[in-house]
Structure 1
Amino acid sequence: MYNSKPHQEHDLCRLHLHMQQTRLALLVSHGEQGLLATHLPVLVAPEEGEFGTVYGHLARANPQWHDLEQGGEALLVFPGVDAYVSPGYYPSKHDNPRVVPTWNYTAVHAYGPVEVIHQAAPLLDIVSRLTDRHEQGRDRPWQVADAPADYLEGMLRAIVGIRLPITRLQGARKLSQNRSQQDIAGVREGLGASADFLDSQLAAQMRNL
C-alpha cells in the first residue's frame, strides 16, 4: 500500500484495535487462477506471533483456498472510516488558494502465508469464536451448539478454515496530518458538522491526533 510518511501508523496496539473493530476484511491472493479476493469476517489473535495471527473460513466451493494451499503470500485488507475533504474546510485557503480536494481514511494491510484448515475440531473452534464475538450484547445470544449436531457436521464439511500468521503490517491514518493545525481543526469541524455518518466517524478519529 502506498502511504506517505505523515500518514503511516506503526503503533502495534492501535493496528490490532483497528483490525479487531473491522467487521468484514478482504482476503486477496494471487496464484494459478490469477488474482482472487473474498470478503470475510475474521478473528484477530494479537498474542500469537510477532505481529499477531488471523483466523477465518471460506466456503469449500470457493476456489481461492486451492491457491492459498499452494503457498505464497496473501493480503488481508482491513478498511476503516473514510471521508471526502473539501478545500472549503481549510481556513488557509483564504490566503493561499492553491488547494485541491483530497480523501481522508484509515486502513490496515496484513500480509502472510495462509494455512488451510480441513479438520472439523479447529473449524468448529473458529466458527464458534466468530459467532460468540458477533452475538455478544444480544439479549439471547445464539450459539453454534444450538444447531442440530448432524446439520452442523454438514455445514463444517462445506467450509475450510484459514490461519494467517502476520509477517508484515502496514497501517494508514490519513487524517490531514500534512496540514497546519488550523486546517486540521477546519477539517475536523467540517466533517463533524456533516450529516453523513462516516464523515462524523472520521471527525471523531481526528480528535485523537
Structure 2
Amino acid sequence: MLIHPWDAAHDEGEWRSWLAAHDFGQLAVNGAPGEPPWVQPMHFRYEPDPGPYGQAIAHLARPNPLWHDLEQHPVVLLSVVDDYVYVPGHWTAPEGSPSTHGTPTSYYAAVQLRCTAHVVEDPEEKAALLNRQVAHFQPEGGTAEVRPAEPPFGRMLAGIRVLRLEVTDVRAKFKYAGNKPQDVQERVSAHLAERDGPGDAAARSHQTRRRATGPTAAG
C-alpha cells in the first residue's frame, strides 16, 4: 500500500482510534509457490495489548483450505478498509480551471496489520478466546458461554480453529486529499455534505478533522 506523507496517520492514536471502531477485515495468507494468496473475509476482535501493537482474535472453520499454507507461512496481513467514497473529477478542479479538468479520485481509510499467526487448538484456551470475541460483539450478552465438553457449544469446538494474530507492524493510510489546496478541500467537503450518500459523512468528518489537526494546521 502506497502511503504519501499527506495520507499517513498523524500519530499512532489516529489509527488506534479508528481501528477500535472496526472489527471486520480480510486476512491475507501466502499461498503455495506460484499460487495467489488466500484472502479470507472475517470478523475479529482487536486488543491493544500485549506488545507494542496488540493482537487480533478470530476463528475460522477447520475445513478452511488456508490452514496448510498459514502453518507453512505464519506471517500474514489483516487488512481493514472503510469510510470510502468516490469523488467526481468536477469537484476537484483547481480554482480558475474548467470543472472538466478536475481529477476523479477515491477517499478511504485503511489500516494493515502485519501479524504472526498463532493457531490455538487447546479446548480451554479456544473457549476463553471465543468468549472474549463474543463479548466484543455482544456486550449485552444473550449467548451462552463456550465451555469445553458442555452444551450448547462444547461439541462444536472441534469444528473450528482459533487464531491469535500477534501484530508486529502497522501501516495506516487516511486518503482524504491532504495534498490539495484548502479551497478545493472545502469545496469537496461541501459536495459530500450535499450528496450525503453512503460513506460521505464519515469521509467528510475525516477530511475536516485531518485538516484541523494536521501538520499544516499545527503550524
Indicate whether the TM-score tops 0.5.
yes
Unaligned runs of 5+ in 2: 211-219
2:193 is equivalent to residue 192 of structure 1: yes
For residues 199 and 128 of structure 1, do their structure 2 counterparts lie closer, same or farther at Cα, with a shift above 3 Å needed?
same
2:169 is equivalent to residue 168 of structure 1: yes
For residues 146 and 167 of structure 1, do their structure 2 counterparts lie closer, same or farther at Cα, with a shift above 3 Å needed?
closer
2:183 is equivalent to residue 182 of structure 1: yes
- Please tell me whether the aligned partners of residues 68 and 115 of structure 1 are also in contact (alpha carbons under 8 angstroms): no
| Cα distance in 2, alignment partners of residues 34 and 177 from structure 1 | 34
| Cα distance in 2, alignment partners of residues 179 and 64 from structure 1 | 42
- Please tell me whether the aligned partners of residues 54 and 163 of structure 1 are also in contact (alpha carbons under 8 angstroms): yes
Deviates more, 1:79-88 or 1:142-151: 142-151
Moved over 4 A (4+): none
Residue 161 (structure 1) shift: 0.8
Aligned to 1:22: 22
Determine helix, strand or coil for the equivalent of 1:169: strand
Aligned to 1:207: 208
Residue 175 (structure 1) shift: 0.7
Residue 31 (structure 1) shift: 3.0
Aligned to 1:39: 41
* Superposed CA offset, 1:154-184 (max 9, x none): 2211111111211111001001101011111
Determine helix, strand or coil for the equivalent of 2:69: helix
Seq. identity, %: 21
- Please tell me whether the aligned partners of residues 116 and 160 of structure 1 are also in contact (alpha carbons under 8 angstroms): yes
Q: Once superposed, what is the RMSD of the aligned Cα atoms?
A: 2.1
| Cα distance in 1, alignment partners of residues 153 and 16 from structure 2 | 31
TM-score scaled by length of structure 2? 0.85
| Cα distance in 2, alignment partners of residues 176 and 190 from structure 1 | 14
Residue 198 (structure 1) shift: 1.0
* Superposed CA offset, 1:111-162 (max 9, x none): 12211111112211222122111123x5xx3133289923311221111111
- Which protein is richer in helix relative to its size? 1
Aligned pairs, how many?
205
- Please tell me whether the aligned partners of residues 57 and 133 of structure 2 are also in contact (alpha carbons under 8 angstroms): no
Aligned to 2:213: none
For residues 105 and 158 of structure 1, do their structure 2 counterparts lie closer, same or farther at Cα, with a shift above 3 Å needed?
same
- Please tell me whether the aligned partners of residues 116 and 165 of structure 2 are also in contact (alpha carbons under 8 angstroms): yes
Aligned to 1:111: 114
Higher relative contact order (CA 8 A, sep 6+): 1
Unaligned runs of 5+ in 1: none
